[in-house]
């Protein structure tokens, strides 16, 4: 379980997040939503260990994030990151992009690509495939080490509605604790956990 206790964040004098406490169940799918500037990316950066909050504590299965001794290893082994821009390397194929992020065999990588319905794109370069396919490749890269947590910031920000639906459904179906920051509520399902921010506060 992931737990936030009284998290606040400031940039200089400006309060960006205010006293956020919440718990995220293992294996759940959570969407952080809210208007532009409400603090979604900041909150996601904090829960994904990329940004240290000014105040408050973050726990992974009871272990406080500041007590994680090998934070780089923890990120590498336990966390998968997906961003609005896919950040695939343009000079490498889809397969090579994923292979460089892991020690998995070709067979394992191909199996993952098949499960994401992009097996036929394995040898293609990012420029040769569609935006939705690129985002699926980025999700494959985030998943290849079977992380416990997947954090995605506006993963559908550059996609049309159909591809957004595909990416949301894919993230929702992953065997991990998944948190997505997205201003697009049209893809939320009643079974999703929804966290709404307004001016840096839970509402």
Ligand X SMILES: Nc1ncnc2c1ncn2[C@@H]1O[C@H](COP(=O)(O)OP(=O)(O)OP(=O)(O)O)[C@@H](O)[C@H]1O
What is the contact surface with ligand X in residues (CB under 6 A)?
11, 16, 34, 36-42, 183
Q: Closest Cα to residue 148, out of 197, 75, 39?
A: 75
Residue 105 Cβ, how far from ligand X at the closest point, in Å?
A: 37
Min CB(64)–ligand X separation in Å: 23
> What is the nearest approach in angstroms of Mg ion to the Cβ of residue 45?
9
Determine if 97 is a binding residue for Mg ion (CB under 5 A). no
H helices within the chain, ranges in order? 40-47, 71-78, 94-99, 106-115, 131-143, 161-172
Using the CB atoms, write b or e for 7-24: b if 16+ within 10 Å: bbbeeeeebbbbebeeeb
Does 41 contact Mg ion by CB under 5 A?
A: yes
When CB distances are held under 5 to 8 angstroms depending on the partner's kind, the choice from ligand X, Mg ion, none that residue 132 binds is none
Q: Residue 123's binding partner, choosing from ligand X, Mg ion, none, with beta-carbon cut-off 5 to 8 A by kind?
A: none
Stretch in the footprint of Mg ion (CB under 5 A) among 35-43, 56-64, 110-118, 132-140: 35-43
* Alpha-carbon distance values, 94 to 98, 134, 167, 195 (Å): 6, 8, 17, 33
């Amino acid at each position: 379980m992931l737990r936030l206790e009284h998290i606040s964040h400031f940039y200089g004098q400006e309060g960006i997040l205010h006293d956020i406490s919440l718990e995220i169940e293992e294996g759940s799918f959570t969407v952080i939503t809210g208007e532009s500037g409400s603090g979604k990316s900041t909150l996601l950066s904090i829960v994904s260990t990329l940004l240290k909050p000014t105040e408050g504590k973050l726990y992974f299965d009871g272990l406080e994030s500041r007590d994680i001794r090998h934070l780089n290893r923890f990120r590498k082994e336990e966390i998968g990151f997906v961003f609005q821009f896919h950040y695939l390397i343009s000079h490498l194929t889809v397969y090579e992009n994923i292979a460089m992020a892991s020690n998995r065999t070709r067979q394992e990588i191909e199996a993952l690509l098949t499960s994401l319905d992009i097996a036929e794109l394995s040898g293609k370069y990012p420029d040769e495939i569609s935006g939705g396919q690129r985002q699926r490749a980025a999700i494959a890269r985030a998943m290849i080490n079977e992380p416990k947590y997947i954090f995605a910031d506006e993963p559908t920000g550059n996609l049309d509605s159909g591809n957004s639906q595909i990416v949301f459904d894919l993230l929702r179906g992953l065997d991990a604790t998944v948190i997505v920051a997205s201003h697009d509520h049209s893809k939320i399902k009643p079974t999703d956990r929804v966290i709404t921010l307004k001016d840096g506060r839970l509402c």
